[in-house]
Amino acid sequence: MKWLAFLLLPLFFGSCASDQAVRNQAEEMHRELEPAILADQELVAYLESMGDRIVASARELSAAKKGPKAHFKEDTSWMFSTERFHLVSSDQLNAFTTGGSHMYVYTQLLASCATEDELAAVMAHEFAHVYCRHVHKGMNRQYMTLGTAAALGVAGYAAGGEEHGDEYMGYGLALGMLAGNFLSLGFTRQDEAEADRWGFEFYARAGWDPARFGDFFQSLIDKGYDTESDTFSDHPTLASRVQAAQAQAAKLPAEAAQWRREPVAGKSMFAAMKARAVAMTAANGDKAKAQAKLLLRSVPSCLLPNDTKEQKDAQAQLRAAEQRARAQP
């Protein structure tokens, strides 16, 4: 087993992320998050129904050869046949994708959305990160982290000796990759703007009200979250995202009126889904493993211009765990 870690080093330092590499990493991360996923059939069916509409509209655009160049670099069929939409138990306001076949919607996000349009806009934005292959860019940055993880594995083997070397090497690799992967999930300002742009297209073509795409961002502004310049932020300002959505809606062709469909859930059903999610979160609190909760808190915000104190604290905990692993003799 010792030779494996040494062979991994040049792979990590010299490779570029492929679809398969991103999808494999996404599956590893999904296993870590599974304890926090709510398995309630009604909630699962609801999110999947919304997700199916978003994916279907994206598939049509892809078939029409519309999208950024990165979308067409490899086969795209997997994006439209394997995507799953999960509701995860967390009081953090967030949603994210790991670039593979899984998207995670936090229960606090669902509870905070006033309408299905707001939730659909966030979900369409997240799927756009997959469509545009934004995680691939982040994963290329991760190869340095992965190289460090391999080095941790080598150190673990040395510490464990012949008797425990394989076991300790596994610990080193797992910890280094786990911390690095979750701390590298953030996207650039350009990625976020591009995801808004294509997410709007998916959302509008899937039948939700184009004029409502920016509503959730506006609600965050109303709550005081857009207080700083975007100069030192990875995200565009919330105000600029609302303005961009309004401009995009104004430029829609006349045929866009024919895209409109009824929401998956009416007002009363949507309110019931929100209440159900809140109740399930409370019931699931003790079942979700501490590690899954920590990882969910650590994911950089895909909604707010800057990470919250809770997110930064969780990220610091992951970094501390990685540093402790490096310090092991």
Does residue 252 sit within a domain? no
Does residue 246 sit within a domain? no
Which of 75, 146, 85 minimizes the C-alpha distance to 110? Answer: 85
Does residue 84 sit within a domain? yes
Burial 35-61 (b: 16+ CB within 10 A, else e): bbbbebeebbebbeebbebbbebbbeb
Distance between CA atoms of residues 216 and 301, nearest Å: 14
Does residue 116 sit within a domain? yes
Does residue 161 sit within a domain? yes
pLDDT at res. 6: 34
pLDDT at res. 285: 56
Does residue 225 sit within a domain? no
- Beta-bridged to residue 97, according to DSSP, are 103
Q: How many domains does the chain have?
A: 1
pLDDT at res. 187: 79
Distance between CA atoms of residues 75 and 313, nearest Å: 38
Question: Would you list the DSSP string of 97-157?
Answer: E-SSSEEEEEHHHHHH-SSHHHHHHHHHHHHHHHHTTHHHHHHHHHHHHHHHHHHHHHHHH
pLDDT at res. 228: 64
* Boundaries of domain holding 302: 2-186+264-327
What are the mean pLDDT values of the chain's consecutive 10-residue runs (329 residues total)?
A: 37 62 88 90 96 98 97 95 94 92 95 97 97 84 49 44 42 49 71 96 98 96 79 76 97 95 96 93 65 83 86 82 64
Does residue 117 sit within a domain? yes
pTM confidence score? 0.83
Does residue 29 sit within a domain? yes
